[in-house]
Amino acid sequence: MLFGQHEHALVSGEFARYWDADIESRDATLLAIANHDLAWRPLDREVSWDEERDRPYSFVDYPVEQKLQAYTAGLDELEGLNSYAACLCSMHYETLARRFGKSAADARFAEDETRRQERLRRGMSDEERCSLERNLRLLKLCDGLSLFVCLNEPGVSDRPPPYPGGFELWGERYEPVWEDERTLRLAPNPFTEAFEIGLPYREVGRDRRLLRSNVLKVRVTC
C-alpha cells in the first residue's frame, strides 16, 4: 500500500491549516508545509523496487544519490515560488540529512543547504528570520502526524512516529486517539474545527503489478 510523498505532504499542510495558533509568515509557512516533499513527485511516478528486500523502496531506504538530487531540484523549484518557504524546507531536509544520513553525499547535501539558508536569510526581515525555528517545529510536527496516518493501520496506534520526541510542539505534547477506523483526534485538541483528509494510494502486488488505486479518507475531529 503505497502513498506518494507529495500527497502525504499535502495532508501535513491540512494539519497546519487548521492548527489553532498565530503563525508568523503564515502563508509562506503553510506553503512550505504542504509542499515540503515536492521533490518526490518525479521519483514517485513509478514504483522503484528494492531487489534485495523484494519490496518497493520507502522514503527511508531510497537510493541516496537519486534522492538527494531530487531534494536539491525540489528546493530550487520551491525557491522560485517563495524564498521563505524554500528556507524552511531546506532546514527540514538539512536536519534530516545531518541526523540520519550516513554517507558523504548526505554531508555534502547538508553543507550545500546550509549555504542556501544563509543566502535566503539575507533577504528576510528580522521578524522572518526569528520565526524560522518556531515554524520549522510546526512543519516537523505536521509531517509526523501525516506519516502517522500513512504508517499505521486506521484505528491502530501502536507504532511510534518516525521522529524522536513524538508529537510535541512548543512545550505541549499531543496524543493521537482513534475514535473509530476513520476518525482521529488529538488530545489535547489543537484544531480550530473538524476537517477531512484524503490520502491517495496505490496497492501493488508481489508480482509488482498495480492492483488498484484508491483514497484513504480520515476525519480529524476536535
d(CA 63, CA 94): 17
Give per-residue pLDDT as tens, 28-85.
999 999 999 999 999 999 999 999 999 999 988 999 999 999 999 999 999 999 999 9
pTM of the prediction? 0.93
Domains in the chain: boundaries: 2-220
Q: Which residues contact 97 (CB under 8 A, 6 or more apart)?
A: 68, 106, 107, 109, 110, 113
d(CA 187, CA 184): 10
Other CB atoms within 10 Å distance of the CB of residue 174: 18
Amino acid identity for residue 41 in this structure: R
